[in-house]
Amino acid sequence: MSRRNLILALTMPLAAAAGGFAVWRSLGERVYSIPGMPPVTTRPAVEITRISPEKPYSIGTIEQFDTVGKEKAIIRIKNVLYDFGNGDRLTPEKEGVQSFAVVGGAVIVIAGGRLGYLTDKGIAEASKGSPLPFPPVRLQSDDGHDRLFLFGGAPRYPLARIANGKLALLAGAPEPITAAASRGGKTLFAVGRLIFELTAPGKPEALLEAPEKIMGLAVFRNELFFSLADSIYKAKGKSPVKIAAGLGGRIQAAGNGLIVLDSRTGGVFLLKGV
């Protein structure tokens, strides 16, 4: 996909991009009809755009999505990375990519249980000479793409961060930490239905409790958002505001809204006006 076409895809109304349409309810909600999905309702100001690749993927469901600058995106399907725009395969299946994230323009991966980065010649190992405090199982960049979060597995489920070349062990939990974000120099993370803020390393403070298990966190224009499997909220003190229902999964901040990787369909959507 050309740069111009990708920009168009990111700004194309949903009705044109996905064959859907929006209607208004008497209470002011927007109701979107999207092929292959249940109705999606949003607050009046929120507009949904489906981001469509140049050619559809028939090899599996998108499991991870991240952007490289403003004009390119990378996805993971099973254990292979692809260019979201043109569908080009970026890693061979034998590399076995378990997770990836884009930080400072570099594509960082977990492959074979080790941390590495993507080059023109394949994956190069990144952790030689500087062993990690735990085997990472998942990666996530923060919304500014300048910090890397590393999530560990059982039994301690640790969370660490790499920023400016330095690694810091932040927290652990009795169950998996599902998402993390940065706001005002502080780290936020989710465990089950709870969102915590780290007031100091190893000292989390509970901010709020969600109705169900939290799947994603994002900070957009200094506002905190979180997502469940089928809904998205703006955190407002102890009483979060639902901004979309019928759509949920991993979320991240984009230049003009939130990108959502829907957990049920693998579709990628942009929410503006949040």
C-alpha distances in Å from residue 28, one per residue of 130, 234, 243: 55, 18, 12
Q: How confident is the model at residue 29 (pLDDT cuts 50, 70, 90)?
A: confident
HSE, side-chain direction, 13 A CA sphere, residue 178: 21
What is the per-residue pLDDT for 180?
96
Architecture (CATH level 2) of domain 53-272: 7 Propeller (2.130)
pLDDT (average), residues 240-267? 92
In angstroms, the CA 96 to CA 110 distance is 8
Structural domain spans, the chain: 53-272
Report the share of the chain in percent with pLDDT over 70. Answer: 85
Q: Is 4 helix (H, G, I), strand (E, B) or coil?
A: helix
**Which residues lie across from 114 on neighbouring strands?**
111
> Any residues with CB less than 8 A from the CB of 113 and at least 6 apart, and which?
98, 135
